[in-house]
């Protein structure tokens, strides 16, 4: 049976599936709404509709969306966007991992959760790149939150911090006694991502623990592994790190992995040139399938020059694949149809992008970032609702996941580049 999740608001990004391309119009948020103070928490709340969805002075790239229960209002849920922060003007990011959150029922009210984590050692602050934050529900009912802050400090890239709330505070759990390096066995690397899979089968060897944890990382080289559930930073005993998880590229179709590399985690017969991994892994489960989102190169997918301004995705039957390429999910250059209708053109500057998808109040959304006027050190967070179609047939038997833009005014609810001319 086919499952369809549809959006209710016109999207503002480009989505391309396989040979298809689906484009969305851009509406810019004037950010003229006042920043108000929440009387209950004393935190600032940004009230506005449109993109970028945070205040124009907030440059939060690399955003990872997560829905967690509100620790101060049990039974209520908030979506948290956890990211780095561009503040240095001449290079990426800054010393903080920052977060904003909004009630799942109203994504126009974003609350500033402030800096979640910083790390100071030997008189200097570490720069923090793209992070991830996951919730672990233990068998005894307790919740733990693991932050993978992606420190750029020497010997500290694999740092992991733990807290009792999604908004912190977080304490590093895998540092040496002198606080300068991660302990031996810490395996996470560049742009870390973690997926938690809960186990309800009494016959499963991990049933007593209650979950499995999978880690993903890499820059122009993709890696993955099962994490030890006891540490959440080391390799699960009896398993190995998977190197060359999917093909990485220098540009579209130009695989940079060593000649002769094999990819056991890619379906046999798949076009290896279609993956184009660059960085920024993230994974979600949709129905009975897994969707792996990453920053990757576009190109002949829809007739424009190759760029890593896109998020791509792959799908499979397990958190470790094997995978099939889904194509381009987001192009932050805001591609539109040319004036004569015979070609496509960009309507916004290109740079890198990073993000994921998240189910919020029964609606899927795609999160990503863009570089205003092409300036890559002041990136802005963006979001748009999407339509995701999937069937219950396993990928191994031909099942698919298709992500499309949504147009509530179209008869078939599908928005295409041609619609931008109407």
For residue 218, what is the domain's CATH number?
2.115.10.20
Domain around 207: 2-421
Please state, in angstroms and rounded to a whole number, the distance separating the CA atoms of residues 3 and 318: 19
Tell me, what DSSP letter sits at residue 28?
B
Contacts of 257 (CB under 8 A, 6+ apart): 221, 244, 247, 248
In the prediction, which pLDDT does 12 show?
34
- Token pair recorded at residue 95: 């010393």
Does residue 223 contact residue 245 with C-beta atoms inside 8 Å? Answer: yes
Please state, in angstroms and rounded to a whole number, the distance separating the CA atoms of residues 57 and 55: 5
CB atoms within 10 A of CB 125: 13
Across 72-103, b (16+ Cβ under 10 Å) vs e yields: eeeeeebbbbbbbbbeeeeebbbbbbbbbbbb
Entry pTM? 0.91
Phi, psi angle pair for 347, to nearest 5° = -120, 5
- Token pair recorded at residue 16: 């391309």
The position carrying tokens 């579209």 is: 252
Please state, in angstroms and rounded to a whole number, the distance separating the CA atoms of residues 386 and 11: 7
- Beta partners for 103? 78
- Beta partners for 398? none
Q: Give tens-digit pLDDT for 159-195.
A: 999 999 999 999 999 999 999 999 999 999 999 999 9
- Token pair recorded at residue 351: 């740079």
In the prediction, which pLDDT does 299 show?
79
Low-confidence stretches of the chain (pLDDT < 50) are 1-28, 32, 422
Q: Give tens-digit pLDDT for 264-278.
A: 999 999 999 999 999
Contacts of 258 (CB under 8 A, 6+ apart): none
The position carrying tokens 């922060």 is: 85
- Extract long-range pairs of 125-128: CB within 8 Å, 24+ residues apart: 125/95, 126/95, 126/151, 126/152, 126/153, 126/156, 127/88, 127/91, 127/92, 127/93, 127/94, 127/95, 127/151, 127/152, 127/153, 128/84, 128/85, 128/93, 128/94, 128/95, 128/96, 128/97, 128/152
In the prediction, which pLDDT does 349 show?
80
- Token pair recorded at residue 73: 């209002």
Closest alpha carbon to 187 in 228, 153, 158, 222: 158
User: Furthest-apart CA pair in the chain: how many Å?
Assistant: 65
- Token pair recorded at residue 208: 């007593």
Q: Total domain count for the chain?
A: 1
Does residue 143 contact residue 137 with C-beta atoms inside 8 Å? Answer: yes
Does residue 216 contact residue 223 with C-beta atoms inside 8 Å? Answer: yes
In the prediction, which pLDDT does 112 show?
97
In the prediction, which pLDDT does 300 show?
75
Query: What length is written for the chain?
Result: 422
Does residue 402 contact residue 104 with C-beta atoms inside 8 Å? Answer: no
Please state, in angstroms and rounded to a whole number, the distance separating the CA atoms of residues 353 and 256: 20
């Amino acid at each position: 049976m086919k499952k369809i999740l549809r959006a209710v608001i016109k999207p503002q990004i480009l989505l391309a599936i396989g040979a298809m391309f689906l484009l969305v119009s851009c509406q810019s948020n004037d950010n003229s709404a006042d920043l108000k103070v929440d009387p209950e928490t004393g935190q600032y709340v940004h009230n506005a509709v449109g993109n970028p969805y945070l205040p124009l002075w907030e440059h939060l790239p690399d955003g990872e969306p997560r829905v967690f229960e509100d620790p101060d209002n049990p039974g209520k849920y908030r979506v948290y966007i956890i990211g780095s922060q561009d503040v240095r003007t001449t290079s990426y990011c800054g010393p903080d991992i920052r977060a904003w959150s909004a009630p799942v029922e109203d994504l126009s009210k974003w609350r500033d959760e402030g800096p979640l984590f910083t790390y100071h050692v030997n008189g200097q602050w570490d720069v923090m790149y793209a992070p991830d934050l996951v919730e672990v529900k233990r068998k005894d009912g307790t919740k733990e939150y693991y932050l993978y802050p992606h420190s750029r400090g020497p010997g500290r890239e694999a740092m992991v911090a733990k807290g009792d709330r999604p908004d912190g505070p977080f304490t590093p759990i895998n540092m040496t006694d002198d606080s300068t390096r991660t302990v031996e066995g810490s395996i996470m690397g560049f742009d870390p991502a973690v997926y938690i899979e809960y186990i309800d089968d009494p016959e499963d060897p991990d049933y007593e623990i209650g979950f499995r944890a999978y880690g993903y990382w890499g820059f122009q080289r993709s890696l993955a592994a099962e994490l030890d559930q006891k540490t959440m930073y080391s390799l699960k005993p009896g398993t190995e790190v998977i190197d060359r998880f999917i093909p990485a590229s220098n540009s579209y179709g130009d695989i940079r992995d060593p000649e002769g590399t094999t990819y056991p985690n890619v379906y046999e017969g798949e076009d290896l040139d279609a993956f184009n991994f660059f960085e920024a892994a993230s994974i979600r489960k949709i129905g009975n399938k897994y969707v792996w989102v990453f920053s990757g190169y576009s190109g002949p997918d829809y007739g424009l020059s190759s760029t890593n301004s896109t998020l791509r995705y792959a799908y499979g039957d397990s958190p470790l694949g094997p995978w099939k390429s889904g194509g381009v999910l987001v192009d932050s250059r805001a591609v539109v149809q040319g004036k004569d209708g015979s070609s496509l053109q960009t309507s916004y500057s290109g740079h890198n992008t990073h993000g994921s998808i998240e189910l919020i109040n029964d609606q899927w959304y795609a999160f990503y970032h863009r570089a205003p006027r092409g300036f890559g050190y002041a990136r802005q967070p963006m979001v748009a609702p999407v339509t995701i179609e999937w069937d219950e047939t396993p990928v191994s038997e031909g099942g698919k996941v298709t992500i499309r833009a949504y147009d509530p005014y179209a008869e078939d609810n599908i928005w295409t580049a041609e619609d931008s001319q109407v």
